[in-house]
Structure 1
Amino acid sequence: MDQLSIAGTTASEIAASVRALHERGALRAGDALPPVRELAVRLGVNRNTAVAAYRMLAQAGVVTARGRAGTVVAGREAVAQEGYAADSVLRDIGTGNPDPGRIPDLSPALARAIGRPVLYGEPVIDPALEERALDWVRADLPATDVRITVTNGAVDAVERLLAQALHRDDAVALEDPCFLASIHTVRLGGYRAVPVSVDAEGMTVDGLRAALDAGVRAVICTPRAQNPTGASLSPARAAALREVLADHPYVLVIEDDHFSMLSQRGYETLIGPEHRRYALVRSVSKSLGPDMCLAVAATDPETADRLAFRLSPGTTWVSHILQRLVLAQLTDDAVLDRVADAGRYYADRNAAFAARLTERGLPTEPGDGLNLWVPLPVEARVVVERLMRRGWLARTGDEFQLAEHPAPSQHLRLTVHDLDEDETARLLDDLTEAALGK
């Protein structure tokens, strides 16, 4: 290990030096870096400079902080993702996927989506889709001058929104526990995640206030069907959060309303009438299928103008064929009826499973969304290990936690809407025995 070769007098120089040593193979996965105090003395810099360098490296994924065990060079560890686990023979009940049988058939819309070729220099947004998107969001936003941007899904929207507003090492408020894609987007962008706790009514007021006091430049909130908890903002909670944000009108507020077409809950917003920087993002992947990578971002004019530089006619845009395909479905009453039926189906299935768990001594609230957030009397990883021996692959809440040294999670996030009756009965038995020993 060549830690003696680390050099630099600024945080950026120190971080670049460690990166270079790593790239040359002088530092390998698992190698320990010097303690912050020791490095600062060796380089003749302030301790805070060494701390900032290690933070930059951690956010870039080069090193991993292990508390009292120190800071080590990170390996190429797999990160948690949504979807089916690869190469598992177990019945996967943690996918977060919609039911493929509930996704509308694209065939009728395809003929309407194919039109004349679109060439360089033409508008990046299909005018008819833009008008439909405005209708979709206009009643839910207090502002009158709303602009629409089309992106390749909600994750792409959030990534672009943060990139146009923030610099590396800026702080972003994230719900804790948090949607996996948001965690990855913030980490890979080099931003600092500031956790805001979530309860049954969504993002907490004290948590948001503390994050704003810590200097966050952006807030990412899920107004309903929060993933993984299923929480939705209540009217009272949304009003209280707007009151807190009223003193911070230039903090970018991003609302990821990913479940809007399927949700059984009303929409409540953090965005007040005087807030200056905002984005309401609505995607179609949960309702029209994960491969329909399209989202609309309704934003203030300044944010829209900044996004336009990143979605220009000469460089990149969302396929007009995809835009027309989504528009054809959003204007088809049969498709909309099918989506509405799917939303009720997910809610009914989750509520029924939660009720049966509650009867068995595991009180569970169904929330909103594709998943169930199941509280446990013991550590979740213990229950998961017991379920694996019974043929199930479940997902613990640990993967969704943001806190630097969180307590072991006592929640499972389960996707149960696609289980048949025999599977449902067996899972109820196995989960009860795994969690309660009976």
Structure 2
Amino acid sequence: MTIAITGATAAEIAESIRDLRDRATLSPGDVLPPVRALAAQLGVNRNTVVSAYRQLTQAGLVETLGRGGTRISDPAPIAQDGYAQGSVLRDIGTGNPDPALIPAPEGALAAVVGRPVLYGEPVIDADLAQWAQEWMAPDVAPARFRLTVTSGAVDAVERLLAGALTRDDAVALEDPCWLAGMHTVRLGGYRAVPVPIDDEGMTVDGLQAALEQGVRAVVCTPRAQNPTGVSVTAARASALREVLREHPYVLIIEDDHFSLLSRHPFHSIVGPEHRRFALVRSVSKFLGPDMCLAVTATDPRTAERLALRLSPGTTWVSHLLQRLAHAQLTDPSVRAQIAQAAAHYAARNVAFAERLTARGVDAAAGDGLNLWLSAPGGAAAASAHLMRRGWLARTGDEFRLGGAPSAHLRMTVHDLADADAERLADDVAAALGGTQDGAQAAVAGLSGTHGMIDR
């Protein structure tokens, strides 16, 4: 049967297949025509069909099976940060801050009441803009930048990429990568190019290779990289800036999500002459995930494009929310609480790493909310072992952009009581020392699924 695919360009062919899928003319598992056959049918170059299929693969709508051809994919759940749904296990993979360490907003609520904000007014509230200018300026190398606000860091990254890229453009991402960043790139139809990271951050050779592949944007986490906890060192930042100096129009997005909680200095990979950049700082880790607000400092051109996607009256960020964030961030008692939270996260992660070291497990605490542990026998096997002991951890496979199975676990342990931390340390040591029985030992019904969305 001939499938009624139409189009003369890659975008048109991809859109035609999307439409056939949406109308259920094509269903999950249906095999698309071979590249040569479809090119002949449409009278286009073979590479045009290859590009169309690649766009659909990047969007997760089709999958390539080698000799099995290309077929419509079955929507599959994608891992999300947060609590597992319906699990009977103790969840140690949430990536959440401790709710007890999030400052209560009641004392600041009275300060947010003011005159109503109407259509056409500035997107960023004046008081927050003044405070954020002082917060961001020391860490933005180019002399000229503009500020705006978005509904959190993920919203900022999505809008920045949408304003600068078109479908199938390449984006350099750290590998392993934070989940929301990975999904934002994939669901936007961009091509993710993995850049390995080591103990000093994004690798120089990896970034150079990505630039040679034509990436138009680079997303980097300068501190407390999720999931590894790595922070970019001064020497590495300098080397990365040197590589990027030859590519001044590549958009660099720095997601400094841990900012006020970090125990490490900020080292930017954006040089003073770079033309397209964005430094994004959200408040979710220290004021709470429900405070959906991020401040973004960008070059003027990028700011103009971002402003077009933040039209007042449609997608602006509530000024009440902005005023609440400003009232808290300028309150000395709240800032003291944030400092205490920073010390707590660091101390608890170090203490757990020391527990593991005492049990013969090679462990070190990085920056951030989580621990990134090496699992030489394989992450899946170690995770299965922990499940049988009543724990639900995350495997590093969820954070990989591809390649071999992961040999790491990501665990959130800062909120464990000492007795629970001791028990978990015993179980982790056992899991990393005796996982030969493999991942198949995980019993269905014991494991829950960390926050998932359907792709």
What's the TM-score, normalizing by structure 1? 0.96
From the superposition, tell whether residues 16 and 301 of structure 1 become closer, same or farther in structure 2 (CA, over 3 Å): closer
Q: Does the 8 Å CA contact 1:362/1:376 hold for their aligned counterparts? A: no
Which sits farther off after the overlay, 350-359 or 21-30? 21-30
Quote the offset at 1:33 in angstroms.
2.7
From the superposition, tell whether residues 42 and 306 of structure 1 become closer, same or farther in structure 2 (CA, over 3 Å): closer
Q: Which aligned segments of 4 or more residues in structure 1 are displaced greater than 6 angstroms?
A: none
1:412 aligns with 2:409: yes
Partner residue, 2:362: 363
AA in 1 matched with 2:424:
L
1:390 aligns with 2:389: yes
AA in 1 matched with 2:428:
L
Q: Does the 8 Å CA contact 2:143/2:272 hold for their aligned counterparts? A: no
Which sits farther off after the overlay, 26-35 or 378-387? 26-35
Aligned residues: 435
AA in 1 matched with 2:198:
D
1:127-138 paired onto structure 2 within 5 Å = 127-138=126-137
Q: Does the 8 Å CA contact 1:230/1:371 hold for their aligned counterparts? A: yes
Partner residue, 1:317: 316
Q: Does the 8 Å CA contact 1:255/1:281 hold for their aligned counterparts? A: yes
- CA deviations on 1:36-90 (whole Å, 9 max, x unpaired) are 3454455454332221111111223211234555432122211110000111111
1:430 aligns with 2:427: yes
SS at match of 2:406: coil
Quote the offset at 1:420 in angstroms.
1.0
Partner residue, 1:271: 270
1:379 aligns with 2:359: no
Q: Does the 8 Å CA contact 2:31/2:71 hold for their aligned counterparts? A: yes
AA in 2 matched with 1:182:
G
SS at match of 1:80: strand
CA–CA separation in structure 2 for the residues paired with 1:342 and 1:297: 24
CA–CA separation in structure 2 for the residues paired with 1:325 and 1:381: 43
Partner residue, 2:256: 257
1:274-285 paired onto structure 2 within 5 Å = 274-285=273-284
From the superposition, tell whether residues 169 and 104 of structure 1 become closer, same or farther in structure 2 (CA, over 3 Å): same
Q: Does the 8 Å CA contact 1:260/1:282 hold for their aligned counterparts? A: yes
SS at match of 1:197: strand
- CA deviations on 1:367-423 (whole Å, 9 max, x unpaired) are 1000000011111011111211111111001011113xx100000010000111221
From the superposition, tell whether residues 33 and 379 of structure 1 become closer, same or farther in structure 2 (CA, over 3 Å): farther
CA–CA separation in structure 1 for the residues paired with 2:67 and 2:348: 45
Higher relative contact order (CA 8 A, sep 6+): 2
Which sits farther off after the overlay, 115-124 or 152-161? 115-124
1:171-186 paired onto structure 2 within 5 Å = 171-186=170-185
CA–CA separation in structure 2 for the residues paired with 1:20 and 1:387: 44
SS at match of 1:124: coil
What's the TM-score, normalizing by structure 2? 0.92
AA in 1 matched with 2:379:
A
AA in 2 matched with 1:252:
L
AA in 2 matched with 1:320:
H
Partner residue, 1:107: 106
From the superposition, tell whether residues 38 and 354 of structure 1 become closer, same or farther in structure 2 (CA, over 3 Å): farther
1:39-438 paired onto structure 2 within 5 Å = 39-41=38-40, 43-67=42-66, 69-403=68-402, 406-437=403-434
From the superposition, tell whether residues 68 and 347 of structure 1 become closer, same or farther in structure 2 (CA, over 3 Å): farther
SS at match of 1:312: coil
From the superposition, tell whether residues 66 and 110 of structure 1 become closer, same or farther in structure 2 (CA, over 3 Å): farther
Q: Does the 8 Å CA contact 2:108/2:328 hold for their aligned counterparts? A: yes
CA–CA separation in structure 1 for the residues paired with 2:109 and 2:68: 56
Quote the offset at 1:127 in angstroms.
0.8
AA in 2 matched with 1:36:
V
CA–CA separation in structure 2 for the residues paired with 1:271 and 1:284: 22
SS at match of 2:297: strand
From the superposition, tell whether residues 66 and 87 of structure 1 become closer, same or farther in structure 2 (CA, over 3 Å): farther
AA in 2 matched with 1:163:
A
Partner residue, 2:446: none
Q: Does the 8 Å CA contact 2:229/2:366 hold for their aligned counterparts? A: yes
From the superposition, tell whether residues 8 and 305 of structure 1 become closer, same or farther in structure 2 (CA, over 3 Å): closer
Partner residue, 2:12: 13
Q: Does the 8 Å CA contact 2:159/2:306 hold for their aligned counterparts? A: yes
Gaps of 5+ in 2: 436-455
Quote the offset at 1:4 in angstroms.
3.9
CA–CA separation in structure 2 for the residues paired with 1:321 and 1:67: 53
From the superposition, tell whether residues 8 and 116 of structure 1 become closer, same or farther in structure 2 (CA, over 3 Å): closer
CA–CA separation in structure 2 for the residues paired with 1:342 and 1:38: 60
Q: Does the 8 Å CA contact 1:258/1:286 hold for their aligned counterparts? A: yes
Among the aligned pairs, what percent are the same residue? 65
From the superposition, tell whether residues 96 and 169 of structure 1 become closer, same or farther in structure 2 (CA, over 3 Å): same
CA–CA separation in structure 2 for the residues paired with 1:360 and 1:220: 37
AA in 2 matched with 1:424:
A
RMSD of aligned Cα (Å): 1.6
Quote the offset at 1:26 in angstroms.
2.8
SS at match of 2:77: coil
CA–CA separation in structure 1 for the residues paired with 2:48 and 2:24: 25
From the superposition, tell whether residues 36 and 355 of structure 1 become closer, same or farther in structure 2 (CA, over 3 Å): farther
CA–CA separation in structure 1 for the residues paired with 2:317 and 2:338: 23
Quote the offset at 1:218 in angstroms.
0.7
CA–CA separation in structure 1 for the residues paired with 2:356 and 2:421: 11
CA–CA separation in structure 2 for the residues paired with 1:69 and 1:373: 37
Quote the offset at 1:425 in angstroms.
1.4
Gaps of 5+ in 1: none
